[in-house]
Amino acid sequence: MGHDHDHDGHDHDHGSTLSPIEARVRALESLLIEKGYVQPAALDALIERYEHQVGPHNGARVVARAWVDPSFRARLLADGTPAIAELGIGGRGGEHMVVVENTPETHNLVVCTLCSCYPWPVLGLPPVWYKAPAYRARAVLDPRGVLADFGLRLPDTTRITVWDSTAETRFMVLPMRPAGTDGLDEAALAALVTRDSMIGTGLPLSPGDAA
């Protein structure tokens, strides 16, 4: 459901560079393997999937294709799931995708107010803040303030539409293509697409930012 607001790598380095959370994850991995709850090969396969097959780089490919291929863009906006599947992307958590397009007049923001439904095959693991009650509540009540917290200040004339994801329908934002990118190929364009720009809490990078 949309709400309009018209105002306003699996690394085994065991050196001292591990953060506390990384150290805890490594310890948990070791314990699970030692107790026989998880096979090392299965764990490596799972990590490989989330590092290389599932993640925001998939969504970035979708966005870049839409930027360069008007017919694909039209299919994507008309019915997101089969269009995304054309790029070999899909699966559990990405069955009922709706893609909403940012324009100079409208900016889209995605939230899941009831839980934390998220299109994992396209965007990978959800950021911690996406699940936080403060984000889930304020995104609907004060989207302009939430965007400002992320450093994104839009003109007062820009309408902000908030899309509430559910287990049945998961939303993804198609951000506007940055200026100065006419000479870039699809791979270079994909490198400009950030996870936050596909949630709506950010914008794509400019070519200078990416460099």
- Where are the chain's structural domains? 20-52, 56-210
**Rounded CA separation 194/211 (Å):** 14
> According to the model, what pLDDT value does residue 66 have?
98
Annotated ligand binding at 197? The verdict is: no
- Three-state SS letters, the chain: CEEEECCCCCCCCCCCCCCHHHHHHHHHHHHHHHCCCCCHHHHHHHHHHHHHHCCHHHHHHHHHHHHHCHHHHHHHHHCHHHHHHCCCCCCCCCCCEEEEECCCCEEEEEECCCCCCCCHHHHCCCCHHHHCHHHHHHHHHCHHHHHHHCCCCCCCCCEEEEEECCCCCEEEEECCCCCCCCCCCHHHHHCCCCHHHHHCCCCCCCHHHHC
> According to the model, what pLDDT value does residue 154 have?
95
Selected catalytic residue, list 71, 115, 165, 206:
115
Least confident among 45-54, 115-124, 189-198: 45-54
- Identify whether 206 is a catalytic site residue: no
111-164 tens-digit pLDDT: 999 887 888 788 888 888 999 999 999 999 999 999 999 999 999 999 999 999
> According to the model, what pLDDT value does residue 142 have?
96
Selected catalytic residue, list 71, 117, 197, 206:
117
pLDDT at 198 over 90: yes
- What is the pTM for the complete model shown? 0.75
Selected catalytic residue, list 16, 112, 165, 206:
112
- Identify whether 117 is a catalytic site residue: yes
Annotated ligand binding at 30? The verdict is: no
Mean pLDDT throughout 55-67? 92
Q: Which residues pair with 49 in a beta bridge?
A: none
Which CATH code for domain 56-210? 3.90.330.10
Q: What is the dihedral of CA 102, 107, 113, 119, to 10 degrees?
A: 20
Share of the chain above pLDDT 70, in %: 72
**Rounded CA separation 100/106 (Å):** 10
Enter the tokens of residue 37.
């709850």
pLDDT at 202 over 60: yes
Selected catalytic residue, list 16, 19, 30, 116:
116
